[in-house]
């Protein structure tokens, strides 16, 4: 997978896994990572799927309607890539925190839905429920920040609450942060995520 890796200045810090939104790329969230922790390592990945020329992490059939078969395949592809990257760049695979926005947050949530110990923690900006009707792995010890907009036209407030509930049922520690905005990522939301991260 096309990506950027930047070694952290503090080897004790986690590696931040950056996952962009639709139409973004591996450069998009680098400023975000620096605001969260400028001494952590960074692995920023570009989605392998193109939708009208725009990179994404998995296919969708329509707005808000995921291609579940492709989602499962791409989640496995990303999970295996993370294992390979940890070996190649010699960082602790068990100390990885995802930072995803929109489509990137959805694939990060899918990692949590499918694999135990896929991530140490996750910052999910405007995620949806990746898929329903499956039993989640035990996420005990996994902390998750969900940033949501009260007027988000793509991800309803009900969907944000449903995702929180599903993750909490799987024993994750979830913090749901609301902004009185739509689907855009605001500076206030980024700052709230950074403050949450510092308390981990």
44, 102, 110, 143: which is the annotated catalytic residue?
A: 102
For residues 53 and 47, is the Cβ–Cβ distance under 8 A?
A: no
Query: Helices (DSSP H) in 90-172: which residue ranges?
Result: 103-114, 157-169
Q: Is 183 a catalytic residue?
A: yes
Of all helices (H) and strands (E), which one includes residue 42?
strand 41-45
Q: Is 156 a catalytic residue?
A: no
37, 126, 152, 160: which is the annotated catalytic residue?
A: 152
Q: How far apart are CA 123 and CA 17, in angstroms?
A: 10
Q: What is the DSSP letter of 133?
A: S
Cα diameter, the chain: 42
Strands (E) in 7-162, as ranges, are: 15-19, 41-45, 49-51, 54-56, 60-62, 65-66, 96-101, 121-125, 143-149
φ, ψ (nearest 5 deg) of residue 178: -105, 140
Q: How far apart are CA 26 and CA 21, in angstroms?
A: 10
The token duo for 112 is 């949590």
Residues noted as catalytic: 102, 152, 183
């Amino acid at each position: 997978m096309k990506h950027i890796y930047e070694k952290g200045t503090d080897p004790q810090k986690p590696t931040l896994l950056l996952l962009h939104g639709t139409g973004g790329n591996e450069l998009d969230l680098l400023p975000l990572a620096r605001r969260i922790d400028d001494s952590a390592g960074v692995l920023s990945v570009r989605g392998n799927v193109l939708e009208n020329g725009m990179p994404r992490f998995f296919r969708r059939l329509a707005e808000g309607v995921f291609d579940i078969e492709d989602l499962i395949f791409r989640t496995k592809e990303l999970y295996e890539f993370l294992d390979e990257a940890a070996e190649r760049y010699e960082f602790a695979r068990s100390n990885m925190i995802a930072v995803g926005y929109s489509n990137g947050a959805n694939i990060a949530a899918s990692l949590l839905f499918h694999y135990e110990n896929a991530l140490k923690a996750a910052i999910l900006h405007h995620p949806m429920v990746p898929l329903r009707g499956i039993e989640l792995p035990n996420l005990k010890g996994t902390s998750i920040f969900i940033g949501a907009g009260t007027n988000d036209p793509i991800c309803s407030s009900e969907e944000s609450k449903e995702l929180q509930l599903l993750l909490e049922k799987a024993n994750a520690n979830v913090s749901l942060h609301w902004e009185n905005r739509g689907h855009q990522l605001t500076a206030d939301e980024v700052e709230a995520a950074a403050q949450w991260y510092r308390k981990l």
